[in-house]
Amino acid sequence: MKKEAARKEENKNNILNYSILVLFGIFLLIGILFYVSLSVVKSGEASVSGSVSFSPEDEARFNFGAEDILFSIAFALFMTGFLTWIKSIMRKNTYLGAIIGAVGSFILGYAFHLRYSGYYSNGFLMVAGFVVLIYLGMNFYRYKN
């Protein structure tokens, strides 16, 4: 009996780790795609000639470097940590976790909108918000009972 309970707890932890890794991967992909599209739009080369140069010497050309990758990783870590924290709150009080998650996500989205504005940034903001809302909704219905 104790071995079955230990196996169930181990499977629960594996699922938790899997969901965290998937969430981290989704936010990392969103961050990298955002910075790549931002670099393409800033360069202006893709819309004029149809080709993009990857040389970092010329500022008018496509420039996606280590700084953008680090910001994408930091974004993914921060959002994954935030949503994991919200999930731990939802285990104890579902409504409090949902309210904190929604308000916190709105504040983070508003801060992002103050820094970046435009069609691409609004699109990526909506995609990230959609992922957050799906995650909050799934955990809300899971821990509601």
Residue 4's pLDDT is 61
Q: Mean pLDDT for each 10-residue chunk of the chain (145 residues)?
A: 55 68 92 82 53 48 75 92 92 93 93 82 89 93 86
Residue 103's pLDDT is 95
Residue 128's pLDDT is 92
In whole angstroms, what is the distance from residue 114 CA to residue 106 CA?
12
94-115 and 119-143 helices, crossing angle to 10°: 170
- Domain limits at 91? 2-143
In whole angstroms, what is the distance from residue 5 CA to residue 51 CA?
58
Q: How many domains does the chain have?
A: 1
In whole angstroms, what is the distance from residue 12 CA to residue 80 CA?
18
In whole angstroms, what is the distance from residue 69 CA to residue 63 CA?
12
In whole angstroms, what is the distance from residue 12 CA to residue 32 CA?
30
Residue 17's pLDDT is 75
Tokens matching residue 12: 């629960």
* Whole-structure pTM value: 0.73
